[in-house]
Amino acid sequence: MSVDGLLSQKLDLTEIAFEAAPHGYLLLDPDFTIVNVNRCYLDLTGSHRADLVGMNIFEAFPDNPEDPTADGVRNLRLSLETARETQQPHAMAIQRYDIPVRDGEPGDFEQRYWKPLNTPVIEGGAVVGLIHHVEDVTEQIVLQRDQAIRWRSAQKLHDLALWEYDHRTRTAFVSRPFAAMQGLADCEGTMSAEVCFEPILAEDRAAVEAAFAEAAQQPDHSAIAFVHRVVLPGGDQRWLSSHGELVRDHRSALPRFLLVSNDITETKRREVDLARAVEERDALIVQKEALLGEVNHRIKNSLQLVSSILNTDARRAEDREIRSRLMDAASRVNAVTSVHEMLYQSNEVSSVAFGPYLRDLCDTLAAGDAQAVQAELTCDPVEVRLSADKAIPLALMVNELVANAIKHGLNGSTGGRIAVSTSLEGEALILSVSDTGKGKAETATPGLGTRIIDGLVAQLGATMAAPPDPKGHTVTVRVPIEPT
C-alpha cells in the first residue's frame, strides 16, 4: 500500500475512533468555533451535526434566558481561554449548564449538570484547536440529592460548609451552607472570586488570596488552611476557619482546591472575653500588689516606731529585769519589721528571699547582744523563697533561739560561738541553731522566749528537737514548706 494510502487509512481510523468514543467530544478551533462533534456528544445534547458544526459553541449552547443565575457561558469561556493561554488542560468543577431542547418549543431548555475538561491541541508550539470533553453527571446529581440533604443536615449540626475554588479562572463552586456562612445570597453553584470574596474583611482578603496563590504552586494534595473574617449584610462580623487540599482531576490538569469551612465566631469571642478577663485579672493583681506593698511599708513604719519606743523605755529603765524585757521585746519587733521592709523593697509583696533576709537578721543580732558578750555568730542559709506567713514566724524563732543561746547556752560567758543554718530536705526547711555552751538547765522554768518558740513551732506545723551535742547545745526545727 502506498504512503498516501497508509495516511488515508490512519486518518480514517482516527475519525472512526473519534466518532465511536464513549464520551462526548467537541473539536473547536482557537476561536471556539465547532469543527467536529462525535456521536456521543450529539446523543448527550439531543443535537444534530448540522446544528453544531461551523457555529461558535456559545451560540450553539447559550445560557438559559429564563435563569437569571445562569453562568455556564461565562465559566466555560474562562476555562477554554485558560487552556488556550496556558497550553495546559483545564478541568472545570461540576457545572450546571442547561441546554436547548432541539425538538421542543423555541426557548425550551433542559436542566443538565456537566463535568467538562478542556484540552489544547498544540502543533509547532501553537494552539491550533481545543478538545472539549464532557461527562453528563445529571443523573449522578439527582441520585445524590438525598445524600446531599443528609450532608447539609450534618453540616448544620457540625457547623461545616463545603466549597471549591479554581485559582486560575478565579471561580468558586459554593454549597448553600457556605454561601450562608460567607454572608452571600441564598444560592448554590459557581460564582466569580470577586463575588465569593466580596464579604471578606478588606484586611483579610489579601491574605486569603495570597494563601491560594502560594498553595497553587505546591504538589498535589498539599494542604491549605487560613482564617478570615466576613462582614454580614447587617454589619456583624463572623470568623471562619477553612481547611482543604489542592487536587487535580488528572495528572496534567490545572489545580483546584476542595475546602471545608466552619464558623469559629463563638470560639473567637470566648478568646476575646478570656483575654479581657486576663487583662482585668492582671490589673487587679497589680493593684493588689501595690496595696500590699503600701501595707507592708506602713506596717514597717509602725513597727519601727514601736521598736523605737521600746528601746527608749529600755534605756530609761533603772531595773535590770525590766530593761532586759523591753530590749527583748524591741528585738522581736525588729525581726518582724525586717520581713516587712524586705517585702516592701522587693518586687514580691507576698514572698521573701529567706536566705538574704536571714543573713541580715543574723548581722543585726551579731551587732547586738552577741557582740555584748563577745560571741561569734555565723550564718549559713539555703537560698529559698518563702511566703510571708512562713518567713515572719521563722524570723521570730531565730531571734528567740539566738537570744536563748546567748542567755542560757553561753550563760553570759564570753568568747562563745553561735551557728545558724538552714537546709532543704524534700518539702521541708531544716533550721538549726547551735552554740558552744551547755544549754539551759533541765530543771529551769520555761520562760517567755521558750513559750514563744513553742507557739511558733505549733503555728508553722513544725517539729522541734534538741539532739545530744558533745560540743555544746543544738536545736533543730523541721518546717513543712512549699517554696515559692
Over the chain (484 residues), the average pLDDT of each successive run of 10 is: 46 79 93 94 91 93 91 94 95 90 82 92 94 90 61 56 88 89 86 92 92 88 91 90 80 73 90 87 71 58 62 70 71 64 58 83 77 82 86 82 78 77 92 80 66 85 85 88 67
CA distances from 216 to 209, 246, 471 (A): 11, 7, 84
DSSP strand pairing (95-96 vs 113-123): antiparallel
- By the 10 Å C-beta count (0-12 exposed, 13-18 middle, 19+ buried), 348 is classed as middle
Rounded Cα–Cα distance for residues 375 and 354 (Å): 24
Query: What radius of gyration, in Å, describes the C-alpha atoms of the chain?
Result: 46
Residue 35 has a pLDDT of 94
Question: What DSSP designation does 201 have?
Answer: -
Q: Partners of 432 in the beta sheet?
A: 421, 476
Measured in degrees and rounded to the nearest 5, phi and psi for residue 231 equal -105, 120
- In this prediction, residue 210 carries a pLDDT of 93
Return the ∠ at Cα 436 (arms to 435 and 440), rounded to 5°. 70
Cell numbers found for residue 227:
482564617
201 to 6, 196, 205: CA distances (angstroms): 64, 12, 6
Of 132, 163, 141, the residue nearest 41 (C-alpha): 132
For residue 405 the three cell numbers come to: 543561746
Q: And the C-alpha cell for 18?
A: 473519534
Reading the block at residue 74, the C-alpha cell is: 461565562
Report pLDDT for 6.
Answer: 42
Domains, the chain: 16-137 (3.30.450.20), 144-263 (3.30.450.20), 351-484 (3.30.565.10)
Residue 122 phi, psi (nearest 5) = -115, 135
DSSP H or E run through 118: strand 113-123
Q: Return the pLDDT at 106.
A: 81
User: What pLDDT score does 101 carry?
Assistant: 86
Q: H or E element: which one contains 18?
A: helix 3-20
Whether the CB-CB separation of 376 and 339 falls below 8 Å is answered with no
Diameter of the chain measured on Cα atoms: 146
Cα dihedral sign, 223-227-231-233: positive
In this prediction, residue 122 carries a pLDDT of 94
The reported pLDDT for the residue numbered 239 is 93
3-state secondary structure 70-109: CCHHHHHHHHHHHHHHHCCCEECCCEECCEECCCCCCCCE
Strand partners, 172: 165, 191
